[in-house]
Amino acid sequence: MKSIRKFDAVPKLNGSWKFLDDYSYQGMIFGQLLYSTCHHGIIKDIKFPAGFDLQEFTFVSAKDIPGENIVPEPECDQPFMAEKEVFHYGQVIMGITHSNLRILREFIKKTGVEFEELPAVTDIKECLDNEKNAFGKELTIDHRNGQKVDPTWIYHHKIYYTPHQEQAYLETQGMIAIWKPAEKMMFVRGTAQCPFFVKSGVESIMGKAAEKVEFETSEGIGGAFGGKEDFPSLLAGITALLSYKSGKPVKTVLDRSDDIKITTKRHPSRIEIKSWTDPKSKKIRKIDIDYRLDAGGYQTLSPVVLSRGVLHAIGGYDIPDSFIRGRLMRSNTPSNGAFRGFGAPQAFAAIEAHVENIAADLKIDPLEFRLVNLLRKDAEFPTTQLISEDHLYDCLQRVIEKSDYQKKVKEFKKWNETHKDKKGIGLAIGYHGGGYTGNGEKVLNSEIKVIIRQDAMVEIYVSSTDMGQGAHTTLAQMFFETIDHPREKCRVQLPNTSKTPNSGPTVASRTIYIIGNLLHDLALEIKAELGFENLEEYVASHQTEFPQEFRRNFIPDPSVQFDEETYQGTGYKDYSWAACVTEIYYHADTYKVELTKNWSVLDIGKLANPKIAVGQAEGGIVQGLGYGLCEFFYKPGFGRMHGFTDYTLPTSIDIPEMDIEFIHTDSEIAKGLGEIPMDFPAPSVRNAVLFALGIQINEYPMTPERIFKSLTADER
């Protein structure tokens, strides 16, 4: 397919494209959240500041909710607002409005909440290391074959830690709610990934008070990366309740400080791996993985993240005897949620470091060691799912060739013998299952709608949102290129739950993989049904037949079966594959790692739009490199920051030269792309540090402070 320009490129450049804060309605007032600054405690009293006219404000708390005080989630355990007890810093206590945003923020800042403080767990390691903090359902994948451990096998036992990661979207969380009492209808507009999730959230909090709820996205959504999957439901619900009580349109937009402190982040992880390797065959014979995530104060979306993490925990390796255990741990910190990769980046950060550690300890070349243990065609995942293609091997071979890896290994080793500064090079592989896990796509039963107008304009209605990734451009392209229709005659409509069928959320690398391929199939179906060669000519000569509406539902492959209890079967029908090499330069005087180049080779099947695909890969790789190099919350205990002055994102100076290539693009289908670029870069940075310095750092990221501590550990 072609690299066409995004349809929203020009309006974004000239400023005519509306983001949420660009919308205004007559009589609109502003909403903000009063949240807990206590990690765990009982609310004793709320004292509003003097000098303000309370009649100018509207207040809502749990007692004002006409519906249910529970946010709809995979695990429905989080209230919209706390009633008596708070379980984490940032838990919402009240929603408050005023016509002047400056006055509103000053009022909330000066409002005092008295708590009876209770014991709290706020430190990541305290949460993850203590078995007593486990909660929720435990997941296991048991693929043990009963073999006894040979005494000659080499035993490795390591624990790997990954931190929180901030989504760092350009536009913070925001919602506008408009109550229409005559119709008993609540209209909500917002910056969100999942329109029907938000609709469910508002329906839950409003109950029978609202007979109809309609949600529509803003024209522009300034990034999301998973961060606008679950939290928008809570924010929309409270904003809707404020509009209901005040009788006015209410706009709630979080400032950056609040957004960073109280919204969902990537789950910190503790992944303990025990393995046994045959030194003769260089084959890992047995592995035991304990995969833990810090869920935060409530489970919410965490069981789904845990599920994907467990299914990717073994990495790209064929290990005949494996046991994987997954658990959620509870802390008194804001609930963690979705983030690009959805549990897989934590898994690969651990297993790719572990494989590198084994190779280093056994003095085996890490490339050779990977090739011996790599998942190949006709091998099987621990779920017993057979692998139908050898594309992971192809990605690894191609990235080795492109990066001139083996030559650089020799050159860098020689350089490091005589230089204080060091050069490093690190390998990593990854894969990502497309779409919802297991039977999820069957449950979603995604539906799309197309209307062809009398002027041959094709309107596409899907609930997939465009968050800046170019989804609406590519989805339209997958329809109009299929039937050779003019691109200007095909447009994806703004997602609106009253007009758009539920085609599922914009998550799980499913937008192009599920919805795009569905649009391609529907285009062919329409062409066959109407019998045209040229749609414009057909419509012109059959005017009385139009406008005409067409719908199609996603039909899962009936051969795909997955047991939710035993975790056996097909976790994902199709996988995207990848391998990368990252080159670094280590500055001995500052202990700083400089990224010099990254080569990445990916198999995502057919490229719907090559230029957009490259942009997606570049963005994900940069996020992954930041995860491995510099991103985490610094403060001990509860470490949320106030802004990007103290949360270290990679800047243009830190981003290396990137060489990205897609292979197997002659595939019949377009597979998932959004998440896989996040899965592999972090461990490649870590492994490059091991190459350069000979130290096994098993906690991410590779900051100068952590490197200094590791290098000087023996001296102390």
Give tens-digit pLDDT for 522-539: 999 999 999 999 999 999
Model pLDDT for residues 293-310, shown as the tens digit of each residue? 999 999 999 999 999 999
The residue-averaged pLDDT of 461-467 equals 98
pLDDT tens for each residue of 357-392: 999 999 999 999 999 999 999 999 999 999 999 999
Q: pLDDT tens digits for 234-290?
A: 999 999 999 999 999 999 999 999 999 999 999 999 999 999 999 999 999 999 999
When the pLDDT of each residue in the chain is averaged and rounded to a whole number, the result is 96
pLDDT at 644 (0 to 100): 86
Q: What's the token pair of residue 518?
A: 């569905």
Q: Is the pLDDT of residue 553 over 60?
A: yes
Instruction: Quickly state the pLDDT bin for 343 (edges 50, 70, 90).
Output: very high
pLDDT score at 640: 72
Q: How many residues does the chain have?
A: 716
- Burial degree of 620 (CB within 10 A; 0-12, 13-18, 19+): buried
Sorted by where each starts, the structural domains of the chain and their CATH numbers stand as 23-119+167-262 (3.30.365.10), 269-436+568-711 (3.30.365.10), 440-553 (3.30.365.10)
Residue 642 has pLDDT above 90, yes or no: no
pLDDT at 636: 66
Mean pLDDT of 208-227: 97
Question: What is the predicted pLDDT for the residue at 646?
Answer: 82
| Structure token digits, residue 352 | 């790719």
pLDDT tens digit sequence for 259-272: 999 999 999 999 99
Most confident of 332-336, 634-638, 640-644: 332-336
- Write down the pLDDT at residue 560: 87
Residue 60's φ and ψ, nearest 5 degrees, are -130, 140
CB neighbours of residue 663 within 10 Å: 18
pLDDT on residue 633: 87
User: What's residue 637's pLDDT?
Assistant: 66
Beta bridge partners of 458: 452, 490
**Tokens at residue 358, please?**
């084994």
pLDDT at 503: 97
Calculate mean pLDDT across residues 10-32.
96
**What is the model's pLDDT at position 714?**
59
The residues, any chain, with a CB within 8 Å of residue 559's CB and separated by 6 or more, are none
Q: State mean pLDDT over 18-37.
A: 97
∠ CA 165-170-175, rounded to 5°: 100
Q: Which two structure tokens, joined as six digits, stand for 468?
A: 């800046």
Q: Summarize pLDDT for 397-426 with one digit per residue, the tens.
A: 999 999 999 999 999 999 999 999 999 999
Q: What is the pLDDT of residue 2?
A: 84
pLDDT at 489 over 70: yes
Q: For residue 572, give the nearest of 375, 432, 430, 670 by alpha carbon.
A: 432
Residue 412, pLDDT score: 98
Share of the chain above pLDDT 90, in %: 95
What is the reported pLDDT for 559? 85
Q: What is the pLDDT of residues 670-681, one digit of tens each?
A: 999 999 999 999
